[in-house]
Structure 1
Amino acid sequence: MKKFELVFIPIPGSGHLASMFEMANSLLARDHRLAVTMIAIKLPLDAKVNEYIQSLYAQSLTNNSIKFIILPELPPPPNDENKIFFEVVLESYKPHVKQALISFLTTSTNHLVGFVLDSFCLTMVDVANEFKVPSYVYYTSSAAYLAFSLHLEQLYTQDNSSNEVIQQSKDSNVNFSVSSLVNQVPSKVIPSVFFINNFAVWFHEQAKRIRFDVKGVLINTFDELESHVISSLSTDSSLQLPPLYPVGPILHLNKNTETMDDRVVLKWLDDQPLQLVVFLCFGSRGAFQKDQVEEIARALERSRVRFVWSLRRPSGDVFQSSIDYTNFEDILPEGFLDRTKNIGRVMKWAKNIGRVMKWAPQVEILGHPTIGGFVSHCGLNSTLESLWYGIPMATWPMYAEQQFNAFELVVELGLAVEITIDYQNDLKELDKPRILSAEEIEKGIRKLMDDNNNEIRKKVKKKSEECRKSVIEGGSSFISLGKFIDDVLINSPRGAN
């Protein structure tokens, strides 16, 4: 049967790839009239992400659903002082995306109805326009962060000097009032990219394209989580936004415990008391040098809280995923593993099994009944997984928009406790991150795991229930996804007939 084809283009980052892959699967499961082709772009710098692309491709072959077009890896483009590296890479791929689609469409009987683009891939709107089909954005950050980004873009558009004001606020206590948010946003949680001029300008351009160049915005959130900001964005005529579709949580919840290390950790969890284990995990790029690792270890040992700790070290390159330590004894305080063998486990994060990249079994661990708290980098995928399982979080953001996410969780929503909300460890152009002391970390962990901390636990449990209801038939995200599908077919150049 001839189907309506959507072309997905994610950026080559593990969190974005995984989320867009699941978004595509959600659409295919919802409406049999749809087909999805995902165009994968490889970065010349990150072998782990390229392996993950192959992993997703292997998964698509097993269930015969999403079609994959993996573009050839291009040599690094020449430096352009006026553009950021990532911008130049995406521009260089545009003719290859166009040619790959031309080749694909010559053999496909499906009807191309639109592009679904990662919010960092909006330059591909130009390619969609050449095929005379509309573009949609899949926004992998929160609705609150979208509101904040649009606010900064409007300031920049109205007055270019506002970008200097933002950069100058880095080391000050300036607060920003955003109409869609209840609380003022402190400058300390502004993502570091906005303090580097060429990065900031590019991000403002992406926000502007969301306002004017796309037909709709899919957001990986749900109405009950961010009802105030979603309502505000949808009714603020000054933003000139296209329709918003909160369709989350879009999660990959399939169990995945194929390594011996994973099975050992989960078996150990089986023998622990209910809700008394804290899980520490900081994502694909969340990593620490020896001095910070030692402070975390001291905090865990002094707190006497049971723990599972996914530990990684920096790769040395801002564009690459972090890598695993080969020997934990070389990085941890002497005797730590022996002294904590009855109350904790330290584990690696990523493994290769054949052609497939396997990540730390975060979903399995968060879903285990012995887990009572999650020390997290506050990436949106991890945040939504934590809410899905009703696990309270302690915030320790690392990079990208995670500082803002931590602010939203702690201040706007009251769904997390704070270890820190302004820790930054991403761009090499910025200062080295400060070292959080064992005392700071221990205080946050104790507060997270305190039996008397019932208010946040109650709130998280309620959001967990709302989260699960939102995606089933009649739920807010279920309805929103259906509206998106209807709008895609209506916006199709030939309609849905």
Structure 2
Amino acid sequence: MKTFDCSSDHTRSFPAFDTQIRFINLPYVDPPSLQKSKVSREKLVTDHRGSYKPHVKEAIIKNVLSNTNSAPLAGLVFDMFYFLGLMLYLPGQEDEVGREFLAFDSDYIIPGYANPIPSRILPLFLFNEYGGYDTFVKHGRRFKETKGIIIDTYTELKAHATKCLLNDLEDNNLHHVYTVGPLIDVKGESVKLCFGDDSERDEIMKWLDDQPDSSVVFLCFGGLGSFDEEQVKEIALELEQCAHKFLWSLRKPPPKDKFEGPSDYKGDLQEELPNGFLEKTNKTGLQQLIAFQMVKDLGLVVELRLDYRNTSGEVVLGDEIARAVKCVMDTDNEVRKKVKEESEKSRLAVMNGGYSYAAFGQLIEDILGNMP
């Protein structure tokens, strides 16, 4: 039997810290084919994850419940990346309307969002009639059945959203919402976990340390963010022409017919980038392919396009990128000032006496209180 080595690529690079965390490998389940299927990718992903339930149950029984050397089971934490306010809104929307969203619908008033949301900027799965919408309605219902939700944010940053979320969940008798974020490492130790190669880490950190304060443009689109070759070259051309130092997290898009996410580029990037780009920017830029793993602080951004769809074939042109870069690097820009203010608030939130510090303490207390 093949095994799904969930720790092989990431956890093997962890230094030998003194920790009680155990990684348990589950049997491998073949993913479904994406070829010639009308079923949405979101439903396929959810169904595939659901196929691991028997293996998870068996692992818990074998390694925890039947293991006399194991600590008692206090609870299960399931890690998911979703638009939480939107997910909690969907069950009520479904009960009232009974259908997926439509492109010509009027703006939506969704609790947790301070302004009405145009349908053109909503996630595409909400418009999908082949399982995408129904899948997330079910996720929303399941969220409301939990004993609590842990959120990587802090109350001061998203006061309106947090208040709406607390009100909604309290109405549904959800016990607790733990705003424990942002998950930042104030001691600077977690950067060691992001790289298996110390020399690679040291090169990046030294390069950043050598730059003047607030002088580097950091382009990162998250672990799931990737672009096709045409868009990559458009971004590269603008970075080449701008006068700012930059650090770019570049990820390879998944094959269209494969059940995969974005991945790291292997080897030479010349084919993806404009001719001579690496040579021309070797003193002003650094291509760090896994820099997205270094992102710990919660930041604010300058808008390019809210309605951009990388599945539609459209390309954000260089002049739009140039305007955004110029805006974010302007020392008098309000967004830049706001980011600096929130950065300090985020650090205070996770320190002793901060709201997130207290919320995390409450989480630990509730977990211990739930032990048999």
Aligned residue runs from structure 1 range 439-458, under 5 A? 439-453=319-333, 455-458=334-337
Secondary structure in 2 matching 1:342: coil
Structure 2: distance between partners of 1:322 and 1:78? 19
Q: Does the C-alpha gap of structure 1 residues 339 and 243 become closer, same or farther in structure 2, counting only changes over 3 Å? A: same
**1:102 and 2:51 correspond:** no
Which residue matches 2:191? 255
Aligned residue runs from structure 1 range 386-425, under 5 A? 386-387=298-299, 415-425=300-310
Which residue matches 2:91? 153
Shift of 1:441: 0.6
Q: Does the C-alpha gap of structure 1 residues 53 and 85 become closer, same or farther in structure 2, counting only changes over 3 Å? A: farther
**1:221 and 2:176 correspond:** no
Match of 2:252 among 296, 313, 326: 313
Q: Deviations over 1:185-210 (max 9, x none)?
A: 12233122222230211111111111
Q: TM-score, normalised by structure 1?
A: 0.64
Unaligned ranges ≥5, structure 1: 1-40, 43-49, 120-139, 350-358, 364-381, 388-414, 426-430
Secondary structure in 1 matching 2:73: strand
Conserved 8 A contact 2:303-2:324: yes
Q: Deviations over 1:326-348 (max 9, x none)?
A: 3233222223333333322334x
Shift of 1:156: 0.7
Structure 2: distance between partners of 1:299 and 1:360? 20
Shift of 1:114: 1.6
**1:296 and 2:235 correspond:** yes
Conserved 8 A contact 2:226-2:262: no
**1:180 and 2:112 correspond:** yes
Q: Does the C-alpha gap of structure 1 residues 490 and 157 become closer, same or farther in structure 2, counting only changes over 3 Å? A: farther
Percent identity for Structure 1 against Structure 2: 32
Which residue matches 1:338? 279
Alignment RMSD: 2.9
Secondary structure in 2 matching 1:68: coil
Shift of 1:65: 1.3
Q: Which moved more, 1:62-71 or 1:196-205?
A: 62-71
Q: Deviations over 1:73-103 (max 9, x none)?
A: 1234699987822233233222222222211
Which residue matches 2:313? 433
Q: Does the C-alpha gap of structure 1 residues 196 and 295 become closer, same or farther in structure 2, counting only changes over 3 Å? A: same
AA aligned opposite 1:301: E
Q: TM-score, normalised by structure 2?
A: 0.84
AA aligned opposite 1:101: I
Which residue matches 1:26? none
Q: Deviations over 1:338-380 (max 9, x none)?
A: 3333322334x2xxxxxxxxx43753xxxxxxxxxxxxxxxxx
Q: Does the C-alpha gap of structure 1 residues 71 and 154 become closer, same or farther in structure 2, counting only changes over 3 Å? A: same
Conserved 8 A contact 2:297-2:343: no
Structure with bigger strand share is: 1
Secondary structure in 2 matching 1:176: coil
Structure 2: distance between partners of 1:424 and 1:63? 44
Shift of 1:298: 1.8
Match of 1:360 among 291, 311, 317: 291
Q: Which has the higher contact order (CA 8 A, sep 6+)?
A: 2
AA aligned opposite 2:138: E
Shift of 1:219: 1.1
Q: Deviations over 1:297-339 (max 9, x none)?
A: 2211232222122323323145233231532332222233333
Unaligned ranges ≥5, structure 2: none
Which residue matches 1:230? 162
Q: Deviations over 1:4-24 (max 9, x none)?
A: xxxxxxxxxxxxxxxxxxxxx
Match of 2:297 among 372, 375, 385: 385
Conserved 8 A contact 2:148-2:176: yes
Which residue matches 2:26? 71
Secondary structure in 1 matching 2:75: strand
Structure 1: distance between partners of 2:214 and 2:33? 52
Q: Does the C-alpha gap of structure 1 residues 89 and 362 become closer, same or farther in structure 2, counting only changes over 3 Å? A: closer
Q: Deviations over 1:417-453 (max 9, x none)?
A: 112222233xxxxx43311101111111111101221
Q: Does the C-alpha gap of structure 1 residues 223 and 260 become closer, same or farther in structure 2, counting only changes over 3 Å? A: same
Q: Does the C-alpha gap of structure 1 residues 325 and 485 become closer, same or farther in structure 2, counting only changes over 3 Å? A: closer
Match of 1:206 among 139, 149, 154: 139
Which residue matches 1:327? 268
Q: Does the C-alpha gap of structure 1 residues 239 and 440 become closer, same or farther in structure 2, counting only changes over 3 Å? A: farther
Conserved 8 A contact 2:33-2:259: no
Shift of 1:467: 0.8
Aligned residue runs from structure 1 range 137-148, under 5 A? 140-141=81-82, 145-148=83-86
Secondary structure in 2 matching 1:313: coil
Structure with bigger helix share is: 1
